Structure 1
Amino acid sequence: MKKVSIITVNYNQPEVTLELLKSLREQDYQNLEVIVVDNGSREDASARINEEYPETITIRSEKNLGFAGGNNLGIRASTGDCLFFLNNDTVVPKGTIASLVDVLHREEETGVVCPVINYFDHPKVTQFAGYTPINTITGRNHAVGYMKQIPVDRLLMESPFAHGAAMMLRRSVVDQVGLMPENYFLYYEELDWGAKITKAGFKIKVDRSVRIFHKESISTGKASPLKTYFQTRNRILFMRRNVRGLRKIAFLLFFTFLAFPKSLLGFLMKREMDHFYSFWNGAIWNLFNSTDSLKLGYKYDQLKG
């Protein structure tokens, strides 16, 4: 039985993380290593986690290293043959881990496998069952099956990208392509990693026979100035890192002369000034920067602790 290292990152949500650990303790797959990275939380949750779940490995970072940085701490501490990355606000039903491991065992060309992700409060409604490719002009893509009811079946669907809320990788994939890119801090890092993984010759699959349940709300908590800022900033960064030649020029022209003014005008008309300034800063700070890492900028430097 292959050893699976489960890696999750906690940031100021100890109660939510403990609920995930409860669902992991109830798994029917036995050869598990559970790693929780406390990523610069205001209060260190390690002692409480260790008291209630002593089998869990806890790692404390005094600074918020971002999504990728926190997960990379977990990778370095892990010893499993497979690495299962989970958002801390997910619940994992029995049978999920065994099914994902079986996919990686049966399909040598598959380097990453995801379950279908449904909403916790609406368990029949799908958030993710794969991704479409990113349009090289607009820099956009969308989740397959979003807000639909995807049937439970034995189909394996190929996807150009994995979903960071729940993805299982072979360790050999990480050994070959390297750690999750830390340039992004929040959003797009798993898309960049997925692009690198597929370029290395591995496939990314979605196992439609299993689900995990994500506590992200369907109707609330999606739009925030922070999300607007990082989605804007990292959309530009992703395209700079992964698109070349005329396609990159086409994207920059599209964004500068269409997407940029249209979005700003939309925020102005809706009087969403926080989003206006977040979008402005996410674009202006980074659009014409020639470096690969780009600067975090604006007021979100404070997130790094």
Structure 2
Amino acid sequence: MAKRERVTDAAYPADESVLVSIITINYNQAELTRQFLDSATTLTYPNYELIIVDNASVQPLSASINLHQYPHVRLIRSEVNLGFAGGNNLGIQEAKGDYFFIVNNDTELSPALLDELLKPFREHEQIGVTCPKIRFFEMPRLVQYAGYNPINLYTGQATAIGYNQADDGQFDKPHTTYFAHGCAMMVSRNVVERVGRFAERFFLYYEELDWSQRIRDAGFLIYYQPTATILHKESASVGQNSPLRTYYLTRNRILFMRRHSTLHQRTIFYLFFGVFVFPKHLLSYLVQGKIKHAKAFVQGAFWHFTATSLSAV
């Protein structure tokens, strides 16, 4: 079998010879992954591989789904739960593509998704990441993501453009954006080779914001491409009301600030978090009787008293 020559200038995919590696993670969600694979069979772009990282699922995915009926699929099993960051890093490590399309398994792909996400790379050599318009699966007229506003480096808050708004065409203009969305993002191999992969310290949540910041710091652009669309069944794996979600959102919000803000910004953030955010959230959880969430919130905040080194990924 002839060895495929990898495109070295991945900023200019000229035709369908460019290989796209679709990378998704399965964690105890075999039925969601099966639905995802069914949607992938509708893709019009022909040259892709689909890597599923089975992230320490209790029942191995191979025992739940006959993967042989789906073309292009490669299964990688991890016996340890590596989280979103580590699971995707494992997929990237094994991927052969010129582009990595990192996508949640709780999504349904539109046929022209890959074709549309590749287009901006041809038009501007600085583009390192492209993202589709993300809409909610249950309410497909509502937008989840049409780009990101800049993060407030005094409060640690970032908001998605268009979130929960009806899609009436006002989000159909492509543009550069501050952050990619971890649900669906196409990244060139050139970016990974220069910037590195996800910071595994984050494990879950904020890892794509951290990666996006590092990517932009390296001089690349992140681009919102609204002609590419995807439907998202949000937080199917973790759950919107999970204490685990509360823990990592709290911990990693502070972690992002520690990694990317100046001393002046961090000082104001710590004051803001300690005086306003911490007592407000803790009291709210206690009043609602969400004791597990209150405990997770405190643990997420206090993790930083023992974590000193931020350079390890």
TM-score with structure 1 setting the length = 0.91
Q: Alignment partner of 2:165: what SS?
A: coil
8 Å contact from structure 2 (residues 21, 101) kept in 1: yes
Give the Cα–Cα distance (whole angstroms) in 2 for the partners of residues 51 and 288 of structure 1: 46
Residue 82 of structure 2, aligned match among 51, 61, 65: 65
Q: Deviations over 1:154-186 (max 9, x none)?
A: 621221110011000111011110111100111
Q: Deviations over 1:12-40 (max 9, x none)?
A: 01111111111112211101111100011
Q: Following TM superposition, by how much is the alpha carbon of 1:226 offset from its aligned partner in structure 2, in angstroms?
A: 1.2
Q: CA deviation at 1:61?
A: 0.3
| 8 Å contact kept, 1:119–1:217 | no
In structure 1, the residue matched to 2:183 is 165
Q: Quick one: structure 1 residues 207 and 109, their matched pair in 2 at CA, closer, same or farther if it must change by over 3 Å?
A: same
Does the residue aligned with 2:101 lie in a helix, a strand or coil? Answer: strand
**Distance 1:49-1:84 versus aligned 2 partners, 3 A rule:** farther
Match of 1:17 among 25, 33, 37: 33
Q: Does 1:243 align with 2:261?
A: yes
Aligned with 2:153 (options 136, 147, 157): 136
Report how many aligned residue pairs link the two structures: 293
Contact 2:239 2:245 in 1 (8 A): no
**AA paired with 2:48?**
L
Map 1:1-305 onto structure 2 (within 5 A).
Answer: 1=16, 2-46=18-62, 48-53=65-70, 55-152=72-169, 155-216=173-234, 221-287=239-305, 289-292=307-310
Structure 1 distance, partners of 2:126, 2:168, is 25
- Counterparts in 2 of 1:24 and 1:86: CA distance versus 1, 3 Å: same
Whichever residue aligns with residue 68 of structure 1, its letter is: A
Structure 1 position 285, deviation (Å): 2.3
CA contact (8 A) 2:206 2:252 kept: yes
Shift of 1:287: 4.8
SS of corresponding position for 1:91: strand
Q: Which moved more, 1:198-207 or 1:151-160?
A: 151-160
Look up the equivalent residue of 1:173 and give its one-letter code: V
What is the CA-CA distance between 1:217 and the residue it aligns to?
Answer: 7.4
Cα distance between partner residues in 1 of 2:194 and 2:44? 30
Which letter maps to 1:227? R
Q: Amino acid of the residue matched to residue 137 of structure 1?
A: Y
Runs of 5+ unmatched residues, structure 2: 1-15
Instruction: Find the aligned partners of 2:41 and 2:69 in 1 and give their Cα distance.
Output: 11
Matched residue type, 2:232: H
Q: CA deviation at 1:290?
A: 2.6
Give the partner amino acid of 1:244: T
Question: What's the C-alpha RMSD, in Å, of the aligned pairs?
Answer: 1.9
Paired with 2:288 and 2:197, the residues of 1 have a C-alpha distance of 40
**Cα distance between partner residues in 2 of 1:53 and 1:245:** 51
